[in-house]
Structures are given as C-alpha cells and as structure tokens.
Structure 1
Amino acid sequence: MKEETVRSVERAFAVLNVFTLDEPQLTLNRIAEKIGLPMSTTLRFLNTLVGVGALSRTGQRTYSLGSRIYLLGAVARGHYKPYQVIHPYMERMRDKTKEAVSLYGIEEECRICYEHVPSLLTMRCVVRVGDRFPLWAGASGKVLLAYASEDVVRRELAKLTPITRGTITDEGAFRRDLELIRNREYAISRGEREDGILSIAVPIFDWQGNAVYAFSLAGPALRFTEKKAVGLVPEIQQLCVEISRKLFA
C-alpha cells in the first residue's frame, strides 16, 4: 500500500509536469500519451487533480494548471533561496550592461531557465522562465555539461545536430571546447542556438564542486561583442563565488 501511495504521488507530479509554456493546455489524449498511461488511469488522476484545484478543466475538453498551483508558485518564488540570493546579482549585471541575464540549471536532459532579467534595450535576447533548451548548444548548456559526468557528456554528444551555422556538431571539437571551459571556468557561444546572438556563461558551484547553475549574459553580437563579453568574465566569476558562498555555506 505504501509503494502504491508513493507511485500515485509520482504519477500526479508526472501529470503536472507535462504542462509547459509552449503547451499550457492539453487534452486527455495528449496527457495520457505524454505520461505513458492508459486514458482511463490518466482520467482518474485528472479528475482528482481538478478536484483539489491543481488543474482546471475548460469547455474545450482541455486541462491547464489550476489556481492552487498558481498560489503555491507565488509562495515558492517568495521563499526560494536561489531566487532571493541570485536575483539581485542578476539585476546588477543587467543594469550595468543593459543586456539580458539568465539563470539556468539541468533538469532531466535539458537546461531550464530558472530566472531571467530582460535587457533594457529594444533589440534583445528573449527568454522565459521555464523555457527548456538543449545542453549541447549555447554557453549555459556547455558550462553545465563541462562539469557533468562522462555518461551525461556521451549522451549529449550523441544528440549533436545543427541548429544554426554556429552550432558545434563535431564531437572532437565539442570535447575540446568543454576542456577549454573547465580550464577557464566560463563558456562562450557565438550563435550556436540562435543566429546573431552572443552569450557567455559562468558556473555557480556547490560546496562539492558541482556546477549546479549557469549565470549567463546574452545579446545581439553586433552590440554585445566577444571583447565586451569576455571583459565582463572576471566580475561575473567573482559574483558567482559570492553567490556560491551564500547559497551553500
């Protein structure tokens, strides 16, 4: 009975996790397909989650996250230590550079945006909290991957495919880039995921030396040049050391 209860909780969270910024509303069929359960079983979970306010059901026979999740999110944001500690540093760098600043971490097989402070300029790099991107394309993904296990690196190397003309798709070149990142403790991307965007990322380490977050700045390469980006690295690295001490001391 205890194992069944735990499994039910895991499945309920699996249902909630299928909703994303790109798919905020889903049908019963789509949810069942994404979590890999029969529709009858999925429907029981959906009815329960609707009943407790975790999901909402619309007239178009679709489901979306409900009011309880919205309220819990507000509570979590206000008391989430990484947000409390890191967000002021992100605002400081955004105000200094006027460029977009983002915080990424690894979730499942992606890098996910935990926090974003938008650029103050009209032409900007747009990212949303909750957006997911490949680990193998872009400065933040590479800086997280550089400190990941060899199994994770091999898994991601098998996915290398061109997104833009700047995407690194050669395994040898990619491994050399990861080694360079480990040596200098920052990564740079020259339009690897999006043409015309230059980004840099610095790891935030926990007390065991694991890179748990990537602190990233990004902007149009015509304005946010490589020289300007690299010139900011020492200051960002110092900020990340301070963040690490406050988060993991």
Structure 2
Amino acid sequence: MKEGSVRAVERAKRILKTFTRDDYKLSLSEIAERSGLPVTTTLRLIRTLEELDLLKLNEDKTYSLGNQVYLLGSIAKAHFRPQQVIYPYMKTIRDQTKEAVSLYGVENEERVCFEHVESLLTMRCVMRVGDRAPLWAGAGGKALLAFLGEDAIEREIAKAHPITPTTIYKREELLRNLAEIRVLGYAISWGEREEGIFSIAVPIFDRHGKILFSFSVAGPATRFTEEIGMSLIPEIQRMCEEITMQL
C-alpha cells in the first residue's frame, strides 16, 4: 500500500473516532476540529466515507455514523470476548513480576477464574480457568464483592467462616474491609484462602460503573511481598482504566 493511501486510512480513522455515544451527530467544522484536519481535507474524506456507507449526511447538515459501521460493530460484538482485551495486560504484569496473574468474575454468587497466566517460577500459585471460590475471602473475590451492592454483601457475609487463621469473616470487620476496598480501589489478602500466599486485586468496571472483573496477582508471601504487591497497584489501576475504555 502506498504511503499516501496509508495516510488517508489513518485520517479516515481519526474522523470516525470523533463520534462518541453522546456526540453521535457532528457538523463538518466539529469533525475537522476534533480530528485536527483541515476543513477541505475533512470534507474530501467525509464524501468518500459517505460513498462507503461509513458516514451519512443528515437533514440538518450534520453527519453521523453510517449503516456499515453498525453492521461491522454488531459482527465484532457477537464474537467479542473481554479476555481478548485483558490478556495482554495480564501477560505484561506476569512477565514483569514472574508471578501468577488471574482474571476473576462472578457466576452463581461465586468467584470464578475466567483467565489465568501462569507464574514463570517453580514455586507458584496453582489456578485453572473455571476454578471457583467464595467471594468473601481473598483479594480477587472481595475486589468483586465490594461493588456488588448491599444485598449481595449481606448474603456473602452470612456464608463467611474461617478458612485460615487470617480469614476476615466476622460481620463488622468484613464490612469495614469491603468499605475500605471501595475507597481505595483495590483489595489485598494475606493468606485468607491459602496460608503463605499474598495477593492483590483491582476491580474492572464497564463504562457505566458496573463491576465486571477483578485483576489479581498472587504469589508466595516470602517472595511476593506486600511491598512488591503494593508497588504494582498504581500501574494495574491504570491498566484497568484502559481496559474499561476498550470494553
């Protein structure tokens, strides 16, 4: 493909990306301003996009996305798996820390592993896709539970019991812990489900603020220390914000 053709495709992409959920109708000048392109260039590209049914001209002289965009979007949505977006971020953290990274979600009031990247080290946390655990114990589960609402929290508290000496299971203590998770935006666990394991987890939301997943890193506490885990949280929070924008 010639360099000029590549540049035209890149500019067409910039034009299409000027539209948002809220700003779904834009004038020529608004598209030019948002895309950073000259008005004449913008108009020329818009006319081509109209011919391809990727943009359409409305009666009020504004433009909106064309039928082909919605068709392509519906095809992509039908075959979309969130793990496709999230896995590269998980692998980045695994490669950086060499520790196990897991993606958890909620199914039938349990924490379920939806994706997992194995540790690169011999002594590791063993986890398999599909493995289930309580929501009320461990960082991965509580990073989900904290944002599920009062009814779900009350149901889980009623189930809570000690699994290890460090399990947080008493009502008031667990409520305080979940409230803290909501404020801080992450959860940590010192062997609440398995002795000798330290883990951190950051929630992943959709664009409307609904909890979807938790992004968790875990390893032996003698190696994956609290200091190391806490140092990762800002980076993982940034990643989770990026993931939200892509889901």
Could you say which TM-score interval applies, normalised by the shorter chain? 0.5 to 0.7
Which letter does structure 2 place at the counterpart of 1:92? T
Q: CA deviation at 1:142?
A: 0.5
Residue 61 of structure 2: aligned partner: none
Residue 199 of structure 1: aligned partner: 199
Residue 35 of structure 2: aligned partner: none
Structure 2 CA distance for aligned equivalents of residues 134 and 119 of structure 1: 23
RMSD: 0.8
1:18-97 counterparts in 2 under 5 A?
Answer: 79-97=79-97
**Normalised by the size of structure 1, how large is the TM-score?**
0.67
Q: CA deviation at 1:208?
A: 1.4
Structure 1 CA distance for aligned equivalents of residues 164 and 84 of structure 2: 35
Which letter does structure 2 place at the counterpart of 1:138? G
Structure 1 stretches lacking a partner, 5+ long: 1-78
The C-alpha deviation readout for 1:50-84, integer Å capped at 9, x for no partner, is xxxxxxxxxxxxxxxxxxxxxxxxxxxxx542121
Structure 2 CA distance for aligned equivalents of residues 97 and 110 of structure 1: 27
Structure 2 CA distance for aligned equivalents of residues 225 and 181 of structure 1: 19
Residue 163 of structure 1: aligned partner: 163
Residue 129 of structure 1: aligned partner: 129
Residue 23 of structure 1: aligned partner: none
Q: CA deviation at 1:157?
A: 0.3
Q: Does 1:220 align with 2:187?
A: no
The C-alpha deviation readout for 1:182-212, integer Å capped at 9, x for no partner, is 1110000100000000000000011111111
1:82-161 counterparts in 2 under 5 A?
Answer: 82-161=82-161
Structure 2 CA distance for aligned equivalents of residues 177 and 239 of structure 1: 24
Structure 2 CA distance for aligned equivalents of residues 145 and 241 of structure 1: 19
Structure 1 CA distance for aligned equivalents of residues 94 and 178 of structure 2: 26
Which letter does structure 2 place at the counterpart of 1:103? L
Q: CA deviation at 1:169?
A: 1.6
Structure 2 CA distance for aligned equivalents of residues 173 and 231 of structure 1: 25
Rg larger for: 2
Which letter does structure 2 place at the counterpart of 1:145? L
Structure 1 CA distance for aligned equivalents of residues 84 and 160 of structure 2: 35
**Normalised by the size of structure 2, how large is the TM-score?**
0.67
Which letter does structure 2 place at the counterpart of 1:195? E
Residue 211 of structure 1: aligned partner: 211
Q: Moved runs in structure 1, 4+ residues, more than 3 A? A: none
Structure 2 CA distance for aligned equivalents of residues 229 and 153 of structure 1: 26
Structure 2 CA distance for aligned equivalents of residues 88 and 178 of structure 1: 28
Which letter does structure 2 place at the counterpart of 1:186? Y
Structure 2 CA distance for aligned equivalents of residues 187 and 117 of structure 1: 19
